Structure 1
């Protein structure tokens, strides 16, 4: 006879939106079959389950081996927005693992992801750019993005993307790619005026990342010239007084590169860059001190800059005892340049 007794045990943890995972080595092959199903609910449930499994690099390796990346590439074109969102989420998680990033390059996932650069769903774009950011952290990953011809598209999106969270991810990806030799291509697509706008952003993280990206832009001569021509140097000088130390460091770093040319030197001198740079020598962040010293060294190569800094040589001598060896060496170099006599 049946009795109405309440069990002492908790009910099983069942997620109705997630596919049941097969046992052992059959789990991923079964999910891969379900990813290719014509039934929308089946595809959605398989993607939900796959999101959980992809946190394990061993599962990522197996997924790539059995062809999951090909299935996911096809789902990027799915008409259902939830399928596209979960597909990009799976790829984003996979991109956090080295084996996943290698799989992206081998199976041309980079180019397929770019199909969603203009997707109306914000979560799709966030996941996409998060995956690109992870990929670009490896030199070969950044090169893969460059070789896919995506630099013009990323520069274009930098200006037109309305959500700051996506802008930050694009700046991270662009910065990594520009350091790997894509600066000239970005310059051809008007990256300097776009970055100039971002240097004036109310968001301090955007200001910091825009200045960091500008450092990479200033490596080639054309970048240095464009920063001067677009009148970006006075903005960088103003950013030296920013309350955020990361902004100060990157602004000083961009000035360090931009002032290598004669035009850049005199543009910085005209913008009165010396006093705020000298103030940064007392920063608690070694990166700020290092970049400020190097920028001052560039300015000291101009007679007017050298004359101004001669009275401040004792400050540089104090920095010779800095706990950071790179800062010590930079201070020694600065003293030599300031005390040089023709």
Structure 2
């Protein structure tokens, strides 16, 4: 028995001597030291909301980092609104720390991607709260807030909320002064807002600013500026200002742009501007008919549609109708277009062109 015990001890010692470090097949846990620990289950958001109100800067920062991850889930967005996170985030928009302001606007930006977030913003007056950061010295903060405005403007009530908050003059004034990425966001916000009401934009000299953007080297800015001009020229005052500021010749030039979206939006703006008699003759003097006829052969439906409607406006003038009478065959082809809206527009164009007093 004693000999067996000695053999056992000897073998055990040999095994320990031969032991080596084993590397696990599994990755280590992903621990972010800059992010707050998320509590389990239903305690997650209440704990983070409490930390958002902490007097300790690092605690607030970590809580915001964690919220950025959670807010991608619409269920968490709903719960966050329900427990009062929006009130905490609104207070943090005025925080003296740059990172806190940036991450707060980022959280709101993520929430704005969900319908529940957008509707909650309208109920909690987030539009006005964000407006205090329009002049924030950090572009990341401003870009996030303009992303929120862009998302809100997609809803009719959101566009009206921006208008009713008196922000249109500020957005117009910011347009030529911001970085290009932010300019695009502002234009995306203005277009649906001005479809609701263009009064404040017209009073803020928006048309000259938009005219300048039509000449941009950035195709996205040219396209979005033309889209905003389409909206701002819906009321009569907008049509008159487009004519007065010599925007129509630039729109005619953009009909030859390489980008289909620029062509489509330029044709749309030209269509609205040509509703008035002065607009019609200004477009005719700028030789708008030929480039518009070229766009009727575009593979892009929106381009064909807007070009057809713009030519219909020009055909209402005797000179325009006379020049288009030889092009009726082109419109006959469009009557067979795959898109029903284009077919209908072509039928109206033919009626106007063939009309005789």
TM-score per shorter chain, which class? Answer: over 0.9
**Alignment-derived partner of residue 196 in structure 2:** 180
Report SS of the residue matched to 2:113. coil
Shift of 1:4: 6.7
| Superposed counterparts of 1:12-27, under 5 Å | 12-27=29-44
**Alignment-derived partner of residue 100 in structure 2:** 83
**Alignment-derived partner of residue 164 in structure 1:** 180
Q: In the TM superposition, what whole-angstrom CA distance separates every residue of 1:266-310 from its partner, at most 9, and x where no partner exists? A: 100010000000000000001101110110010011111011001
Larger radius of gyration: 2
Indicate yes or no: 2:112 matched with 1:95: yes
Residue 36 of structure 1, aligned match among 47, 53, 72: 53
Aligned counterparts of 1:133 and 1:188: Cα–Cα separation in 2? 22
| Superposed counterparts of 1:77-226, under 5 Å | 77-161=94-178, 163-181=179-197, 183-226=198-241
Aligned counterparts of 2:125 and 2:71: Cα–Cα separation in 1? 19
Q: Which runs of 4+ in 1 moved over 3 A?
A: 1-4
Residue 310 of structure 2, aligned match among 295, 310, 316: 295
Aligned counterparts of 1:101 and 1:330: Cα–Cα separation in 2? 36
CA RMSD of aligned residues (A): 1.2
Residue 300 of structure 2, aligned match among 274, 277, 285: 285
Shift of 1:244: 0.2
Identify unmatched segments of 5+ residues in structure 2. Answer: 1-15
Report SS of the residue matched to 2:27. coil
Indicate yes or no: 2:52 matched with 1:68: no
Report SS of the residue matched to 1:284. coil
Aligned counterparts of 2:238 and 2:22: Cα–Cα separation in 1? 73
Aligned counterparts of 1:49 and 1:241: Cα–Cα separation in 2? 49
Shift of 1:141: 1.0
Report SS of the residue matched to 1:22. coil
Aligned counterparts of 2:315 and 2:27: Cα–Cα separation in 1? 73
Shift of 1:160: 1.6
Identify unmatched segments of 5+ residues in structure 1. Answer: none
Shift of 1:319: 1.1
Aligned positions, number: 340
When normalised by structure 2's length, the TM-score is 0.94
Report SS of the residue matched to 2:38. coil
Q: In the TM superposition, what whole-angstrom CA distance separates every residue of 1:132-165 from its partner, at most 9, and x where no partner exists? A: 111111111111111111111111111221x110
